[in-house]
């Protein structure tokens, strides 16, 4: 039986109070760390909101392990492998006191999320660690700049693992009947991840990672090392504008996806798509200057989208 269709076996069953505590921990993690996702979650029905908090908490755990520069890369990779192995044990019905894995496994059973998708969530963060490790250890003070992907096609494979898969998990929780929703969710995830890559290009370069494809850098006569200490944003504007146009095309899939998920989840997806799209347009309005401070939406802007989402849910 493939991982995509394998059913979660039932052995150890956490008590209602254990699950309540587990989901409470996941909600706290999401409130603390999810700068954009949490606003969309607020307009979901309670059980679906809790489920996506469990998914987010697992994603956050994986990201934190992969991004911990104080830990050697090989150790980070091993910690991710260990986390995935522990998840598999919980899925197999073995006891655990890890609240995130307990809540995630309950969510998986409740919404029939394929095991393969959760594996790929973790594998996506492993791609960062593996890429860095393959090039050797950077120095402690100045990490070596590594262009992670040579072509846009290679970049989309990474984006699939870390973002499109998230979309595929989310629509399982949202609910959908039309298979077309799956491809649209994948493309919507690409839009979100490209937006993140554009926003974080300098921040990523400072820790040695460049996600913009090497072919794109060469096409605009830019070297990866320039991104680390960039001061003249205009030099990089044409490159980032091109990547933004790619993201805009993928956002159209997000618009199409909204009507294909269950009605009680459509407002949440609308909020999420529009928060991320507004972030991209805010970057464009600032002439793609992502080098002199991180571009983000204000709380007021996010609350405005939340209010519109709540109105959509009520009407």
Cα–Cα distance measured from residue 62 to residue 83, given in angstroms and rounded to the nearest whole number:
8
Name the band, by pLDDT with cuts 50, 70 and 90, for residue 35.
confident
- Judged against a pLDDT cut of 60, whether residue 97 lies above it is answered with yes
The per-residue pLDDT for range 207-229, each reduced to its tens digit, is 888 999 999 999 999 999 999 88
Q: How many domains does the chain have?
A: 2
Checking if the pLDDT of 1 tops 80, the result is no
The answer to whether the pTM exceeds 0.85 is yes
Residue 6, pLDDT score: 47
Give me the pLDDT at residue 139, please. 44
- Residue among 88, 196, 210, 208 nearest 150 (CA): 210
Q: Is 37 contained in some domain?
A: yes
Q: Please identify which residue in the block is written with the tokens 């991982």.
A: 3
Span 265-295, pLDDT tens digits: 999 999 999 999 999 999 999 999 999 999 9
Query: Would you call 34 helix, strand, or coil by DSSP?
Result: coil
Residue 131 within any structural domain of the chain:
no
Same domain, 161 and 90: no
Q: DSSP readout, 118-146?
A: HHHHHHHHHHHHHHHHHT-PPPSSSPPPE
Q: Which letter does DSSP use for residue 12 in this model?
A: S
The chain-wide mean pLDDT, for the chain, equals 90
CA distance 272 to 290: 22
Radius of gyration for the chain, computed over Cα atoms and rounded to the nearest angstrom: 20
DSSP state, residue 261: B
Contacts of 65 (CB under 8 A, 6+ apart): 71, 76, 79, 80, 83, 125
Same domain for 300 and 245: yes
Give pLDDT, residue 144.
Answer: 80
Round to whole Å and give the CA distance between 259 and 270: 10
Cβ distance 293 to 200 under 8 Å? no
Examine the domain organization and report whether 102 and 155 are in the same domain: no
Asked whether residue 150 falls in the same domain as residue 261, the answer is yes
The per-residue pLDDT for range 161-200, each reduced to its tens digit, is 999 999 999 999 999 999 999 999 999 999 999 999 999 9
More confident site: 11 or 61? 61
Q: Quote the domain boundaries for residue 92.
A: 8-114
Regarding whether 105 and 146 lie in a shared domain, the answer is no
pLDDT value for 142: 64
């Amino acid at each position: 039986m493939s991982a995509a269709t394998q059913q979660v076996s039932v052995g150890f069953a956490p008590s209602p109070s254990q699950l309540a505590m587990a989901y409470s921990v996941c909600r706290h993690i999401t409130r603390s760390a999810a700068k954009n996702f949490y606003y969309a979650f607020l307009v979901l029905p309670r059980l679906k909101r809790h489920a996506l908090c469990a998914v987010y908490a697992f994603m956050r755990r994986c990201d934190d392990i992969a991004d911990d520069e104080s830990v050697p890369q090989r150790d980070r990779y091993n910690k991710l492998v260990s986390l995935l192995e522990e998840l598999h044990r919980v899925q197999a019905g073995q006891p655990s006191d890890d609240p995130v894995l307990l809540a995630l496994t309950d969510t998986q059973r409740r919404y029939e999320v394929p095991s393969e998708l959760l594996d790929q969530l973790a594998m996506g963060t492993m791609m960062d660690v593996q890429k860095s490790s393959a090039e050797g250890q950077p120095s402690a003070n100045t990490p070596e700049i590594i262009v992670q992907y040579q072509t846009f096609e290679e970049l989309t494979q990474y984006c699939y693992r870390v973002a499109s898969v998230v979309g595929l998990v989310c629509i399982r929780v949202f609910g959908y009947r039309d298979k077309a929703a799956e491809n649209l969710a994948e493309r919507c995830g690409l839009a979100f991840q490209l937006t993140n890559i554009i926003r974080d290009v300098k921040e990523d370069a400072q820790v040695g990672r460049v996600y913009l494809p090497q072919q794109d850098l060469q096409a605009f006569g830019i070297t990866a090392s320039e991104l680390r200490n960039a001061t003249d944003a205009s030099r990089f504007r044409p490159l980032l504008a091109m990547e933004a146009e790619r993201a805009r095309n993928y956002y159209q899939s997000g618009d199409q996806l909204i009507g294909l998920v269950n009605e009680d989840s459509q407002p949440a997806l609308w909020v999420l798509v529009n928060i991320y799209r507004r972030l991209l347009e805010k970057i464009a309005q600032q002439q793609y200057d992502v080098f002199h401070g991180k571009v983000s939406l204000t709380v007021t802007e996010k609350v405005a989208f939340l209010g519109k989402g709540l109105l959509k849910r009520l009407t």
